[in-house]
Amino acid sequence: MSSFGTVGLKRIWDMLEHCAPGFEKKKTTHNWRVTWNGNCFPSLPLGPHGKRDNAEIQVGHIKKMARTLGIYDCALAFLDL
């Protein structure tokens, strides 16, 4: 999938439960901050206003988060990217 493709936020949380068990997420004013295993990704987009329960997030951000957290191969396999 192109880095411009999107994945729903709920599917991303499912992926993190699988690839980064025990991960923590915090909603800030401008981003989601995701931490796991001593690594922090503070720039996962919230998504457009009005659609934030299951916002569609561009794959480029998900790949970068997966690299930062050290779960790249697992994330791509789980999300079939």
Partner 1 sequence: MSTTMRYPLFCGFREVVVGRKFAAGVELNGRALAEKEQGGWWLYGVNPGAIAGSGMDLSAAVADFRLRLKGVLFDFAADADDFECFRKEVLAFFKSSDAETEAEWQAARDLVRAGKVDLKGMRKEKAERPRSARVVLLKLAPQENVLDKGASLAA
Residues making contact with partner 1 (CB under 8 A)? 2-4, 28-31, 33, 39-43, 45, 58, 60-61, 63-65, 67-68, 70, 72
| Closest approach of partner 1 to the CB of residue 72, in Å | 7
Cβ proximity to partner 1, 3 vs 54, nearer residue: 3
| Strand pairing report for 24-27 and 6-8 | unpaired
CA angle 14, 18, 19 (to 5 degrees): 115
| Closest approach of partner 1 to the CB of residue 31, in Å | 6
Number of C-beta neighbours around residue 65 at 10 A: 25
